[in-house]
Amino acid sequence: MSKENSVKSEAHQPTILSYVKDLPNLLSLSGLACTVLAIYFSIIGVYYAAMIGMVWAVGFDWADGLVARKLKGRTATDAKFGGQLDVVIDIVSYGVTPAILLLSYGKFEPIYLIGAFLMLSAAAIRLSYFSTYGLAGGTKYTGLALDNNSLILVFIFLFEGLFSNGTFSIVLYISGVGLAILNVSEIKTPKLSGNPRNVYLLAAYTLVLTAIYSMKLLG
């Protein structure tokens, strides 16, 4: 590439923050904000609030894809940037957050480091594999999609009050590692977030769980 063409290319290259104005990216960042809250509340032990943050993070994650597909005028570069942003946020939302939840609930005992590492490693491998190969046959994921981890863990946490802290920490440990195994397995699962009906179902699920956990917090 000549120096003149290189200068022209740089002149047409958008600024980093210009992508923040893109609505799907704003939704992705809103999901990241929910994830930060979930991590914060997990660390300080306010787990019901952490559950609300986790489920809303999934909601925003699904919403950004739905909005991106409906918006007109988005370029291939816009889509590529949004995809990369999603991957980076997903590793935090569905890898780091559940791992910190497990560590915190386990009182940061060293044994829980193993489970946290397995969960985070599975998330990193799963996302790297998807970035490389995409959907199997263009329609299905290979391995359990990571957003399911949060949806399932938030549901499991509804039954936390039925167990002692020690027993439930084991339940959480087994559940987290079990999900990690499914994440890197060869099972084929459908892309649920690609269907608008499923997005509306997730919205209802999110609102119901938010109401339940809000009542638990007030109680």
pLDDT digits (tens, 9 = 90+) for 76-85: 888 899 889 9
Domain boundaries, the chain: 17-218
- Residue 60 CB partners (closer than 8 Å, separation 6+): 27, 28, 30, 31, 34
Q: Residue 14 in contact with residue 36, Cβ under 8 Å?
A: no
Q: Residue 15 in contact with residue 73, Cβ under 8 Å?
A: no
Checking if the pLDDT of 12 tops 90, the result is no
Architecture of domain 17-218: Up-down Bundle (1.20)
Q: Residue 101 in contact with residue 115, Cβ under 8 Å?
A: no
Please give the angle made by the CA atoms of 196, 198 and 203, to the nearest 5 degrees.
Answer: 95
pLDDT digits (tens, 9 = 90+) for 31-40: 999 999 999 9
As given in the structure block, the two tokens for residue 202 are: 């997730």
Whole-structure pTM value: 0.90
pLDDT digits (tens, 9 = 90+) for 178-195: 999 999 999 998 888 767
pLDDT at 7: 47
